[in-house]
Amino acid sequence: MSVLVYTESEKGKFKKAAFEVASYAKAVADQMGTTVTAIAVNADDVSELGTYGVDKVLKVNDGKMDAFNAKTYANVIKQAAEKEGTKVVILSQSADSKYLAPILAVNLDAGYASNVVAAPTSASPFTVKRTAFTNKAFNFTTIDTDVKVVGVSNNSFGLVENSGSASAEAFSPNIPDNGVHVDSVDKASNKVSIADAEIVVSGGRGLKGPENWGMIEELANVLGAATACSKPVSDLGWRPHSEHVGQTGKPVASNLYIAVGISGAIQHLAGINASKVKVVINSDPEAPFFKAADYGVVGDAFDVVPRLTEKLKEFKAQNA
Amino acid sequence: MKILVCISHVPDTTSKINFTDGDTKFDTNGVQFVINPNDEFGLTRAMWFKEKQGATVDVVNVGGPETEPTLRKALAIGADGAIRVNTPATDGYAVAKQLANVVKDGGYDLVIAGRESIDYNGAMVPGMLAELIGANFVTNCINLEVDGTNAKAVREIDGGKETVSTTLPLVIGGQKGLVEESDLRIPNMRGIMMARQKPLKVMEPVDVSTETSTVKFEKPAPKGAVKLVSPDNLDELVSLLHNEAKVI
């Protein structure tokens, strides 16, 4: 009956989103009067999950699961759900979890709600609040099936610490081979990804050229932030498409989004407006982005950004 | 190769989002509907397969008669035929079940859908469809090559991309990158004239039950005005971010 949560790791270390979905699972379990079981794949140390309310961890350690395969992962999570008699499965909304979620839902005959941003408003009927219309509205949805799959948006529920500890149990599921094989992965290993970042620093055409991105990267470095860009910038080839955020690019739901030299076209705002706090630096006081922002600086990016970076360095040094 | 492109009929990005019937239904009044942007990239890629490798391309939508202009637009862009499953799109699962029936009925090898629609943003129909019909599935797909029954696809992942090999039958959740925005096609007059002659088949739905239901919609609380900070006083910005917004 326990709530099952899939806690993602990368190179053996849990992602922050894993602790967030664990916190969420704990809230659901409390509502339902049950416990939380996590499934962790090739993670080194699972004890940390206890801090976020997990009671038991099913540890899967198998080289066959090193490369991510959505169908295989969905199948393994299904086996864990069946073993635990789970009625609610909690996932993050990372690219991988979003990929496997619909497959898992079909396998479990479960209804699935994605982009969920708050604990269930009711456990029966099971009702969740999710974003819709590209963050221009919330949609309260009931999941009417016996088994339910819930995808929790990153940075929406937050981390909730508990005093508990988690017991670990080895779990050796049947690992089927599937029809999609990873040939190669091309990923910058030393950079924070946009999906995982708490802070995103994004640059637009106002930066005038790719050679000026150094100051965006420096600002991002000071903040431990990911870098992103607007659509014109990726269309012009100044930055890779993987950095393009907006409606047709990557969605951003960071705690802080700093937009430099981005006017704020509606398609851009659609992709980033799930971010909690938005700061805009733009020389044009009429830029539409100022209407969507929390804080704004009307000024030349080439003057403001390096000085802001210095101020933040001082701040970090004092508050380290 | 028989390709089916799933077309969501969605409000244009610039639409005002409002709700009616006690905030339980989307208010379509005055709203301009378009082909879902993620689907448009897939449709253009399908046209590329048709022209370069030889393929027939059908488009499909699950919805009422009001979605037909959107399907006609896809025909004007170059699809050979269109199918409308005559039932409202209720939830992702029900739509996937209807599409599964269309795929089985038409014997399609490749189904190209968008990674998500820009209205409900569920990102669930393509994956559910693939699982229901037992096809391979790649989502967030930014490149696709097909050679016989083998396919190579590039998937965008968090912080990068990965290249995968797979085989048909295949379902794709497509997005920008499948083709570039500059390659997207706008229907020309000849295409629009020809689209009138192309078949638009109305299929009656299969019997399915939904798994989720909308209780109500809610709009976010209106945002307060922006706080402007002088570029000569960036200490204030740092202080606001730390003490007020508490994000650094």
Range 40-69 of B in CB contact (< 8 A) with A: 41
Across the interface, whether the CB atoms of A270 and B13 are under 8 A apart is answered yes
Q: Is the pLDDT of residue A176 over 80?
A: yes
Q: What is the mean pLDDT of residues B139-168?
A: 96
What is the percentage of chain A residues whose pLDDT exceeds 90? Answer: 92
User: Is A283 at the interface with chain B, CB within 8 A?
Assistant: no
Distance from CA of A126 to the nearest CA of B (A): 10
Across the interface, whether the CB atoms of A196 and B229 are under 8 A apart is answered no
Residue A148 corresponds to which amino acid? K
Q: Is the pLDDT of residue A52 over 90?
A: yes
Q: Quote the crossing angle between the two packed helices B37-53 and B68-77, to the nearest 10°.
A: 40
Distance between CA atoms of residues A59 and A47, nearest Å: 11
CB atoms within 10 A of CB A73: 24
Range 98-127 of B in CB contact (< 8 A) with A: 118-127
Q: Is the pLDDT of residue A1 over 90?
A: no
Task: Output the CA torsion A180→A7→A151→A120 (10° steps).
Answer: 160
Structure tokens that stand for A69 in this block: 């395969």
> pLDDT band at A189, cuts 50/70/90?
confident
- What pLDDT score does B21 carry? 96
Nearest-Cα residue of chain B relative to residue A242: B160
Give residue-wise pLDDT tens across range B70-98. Answer: 999 999 999 999 999 999 999 999 999 99
Q: How many whole angstroms from its chain centre is CA A278?
A: 17
Mean pLDDT estimate for chain B: 96
Q: Which of B176, B216, B230 is opposite residue A140, by nearest beta carbon?
A: B216
In a domain, B242, yes or no: no
Residue B87 corresponds to which amino acid? T
Q: Which residues of B touch A304 (CB under 8 A)?
A: 231, 234
User: Is B221 at the interface with chain A, CB within 8 A?
Assistant: no
Mean pLDDT estimate for chain A: 96
Q: What is the mean pLDDT of residues A101-124?
A: 97
Distance between CA atoms of residues A144 and B91, nearest Å: 11
> pLDDT band at A154, cuts 50/70/90?
very high
Domain count, chain B: 1
Distance between CA atoms of residues A249 and A195, nearest Å: 12
Q: Is the pLDDT of residue B123 over 90?
A: yes
In a domain, B247, yes or no: no
- What pLDDT score does B122 carry? 96
In a domain, B204, yes or no: yes
- What pLDDT score does A107 carry? 98
User: Is A188 at the interface with chain B, CB within 8 A?
Assistant: yes
Domain with CATH 3.40.50.1220 in chain A: 199-318
Across the interface, whether the CB atoms of A266 and B137 are under 8 A apart is answered no
Q: What is the mean pLDDT of residues A237-259?
A: 93
Across the interface, whether the CB atoms of A312 and B181 are under 8 A apart is answered no
The ipTM assigned to this model is 0.96
Strand, coil or helix: what is B152? strand
In a domain, B244, yes or no: no
Task: Output the CA torsion A271→A16→A63→A105 (10° steps).
Answer: -60
What is the percentage of chain A residues whose pLDDT exceeds 70? Answer: 100
- What pLDDT score does A163 carry? 87
CATH 3.40.50.300 fits A199-318, yes or no: no
Q: Is the pLDDT of residue B231 over 80?
A: yes
Q: Which CATH number fits domain A3-170: 3.10.129.10, 3.30.450.40, 3.40.50.620, 3.30.1340.10?
A: 3.40.50.620
User: At B23, which CATH number?
Assistant: 3.40.50.620
Q: Is the pLDDT of residue B159 over 90?
A: no
Across the interface, whether the CB atoms of A111 and B158 are under 8 A apart is answered no
- What pLDDT score does A196 carry? 86
For B173, the domain range is 2-219
Tokens 């391979």 sit on residue: B136
Strand, coil or helix: what is B222? coil
Give residue-wise pLDDT tens across range B199-217. Answer: 999 999 999 999 999 999 9
Q: Which residues of B touch A115 (CB under 8 A)?
A: 121-122
Q: Which residues of A touch B125 (CB under 8 A)?
A: 102
Give residue-wise pLDDT tens across range A72-97. Answer: 999 999 999 999 999 999 999 999 99
- What pLDDT score does A182 carry? 95
Give residue-wise pLDDT tens across range B30-72. Answer: 999 999 999 999 999 999 999 999 999 999 999 999 999 999 9
What lies within 8 Å, CB to CB, of B41 at 6+ separation is: A248, B114, B174, B175, B176, B177, B178, B179, B184
Sign of CA dihedral A170, A174, A177, A179: negative
Asked if residues B70 and B9 have their Cβ atoms less than 8 Å apart, the reply is yes
B174: exposed, middle or buried (C-beta count within 10 Å: 0-12, 13-18, 19+)? buried
Q: Is the pLDDT of residue A320 over 90?
A: no
Q: Which of A121, A311, A114 is nearest to A222 (CA)?
A: A311
Range 45-64 of A in CB contact (< 8 A) with B: none
